[in-house]
Amino acid sequence: MAPDKKNLAGLISVFLLSIVGLALTPTVQAQVTTLTASGTSGAGNLTGSAKAIMELFPMFWVILMIAIPVAYIAVWLRG
């Protein structure tokens, strides 16, 4: 089964999206750190359960950036 150009272009696009998303991970982590840091300089706006959930956001970001290409490949190979 030879892949057609449309599907191959979609596959390349999904991988580029994943690479850009993973490259933005340090930016996401820095923003989460700013929101959850303790201090009086305007940082640390989140406390309690909101802080705990926000601290998990970078992990979910990375999982999503890996899961998108995996799901696309699974659908693409299924035909």
21-69 per-position pLDDT tens digit: 999 999 999 999 888 887 656 566 788 898 899 999 999 999 999 999 9
Q: What is the pLDDT of residue 37?
A: 82
10 to 13, 23, 70: CA distances (angstroms) = 5, 20, 13
**At 4, is the pLDDT very low, low, confident or very high (cuts 50, 70, 90)?**
low
Beta strands in the chain (DSSP E): none
The vertex-42 CA angle with 37 and 47, nearest 5°, equals 45
| Model pTM above 0.85 | no
Neighbours of 77 (CB within 10 A): 9
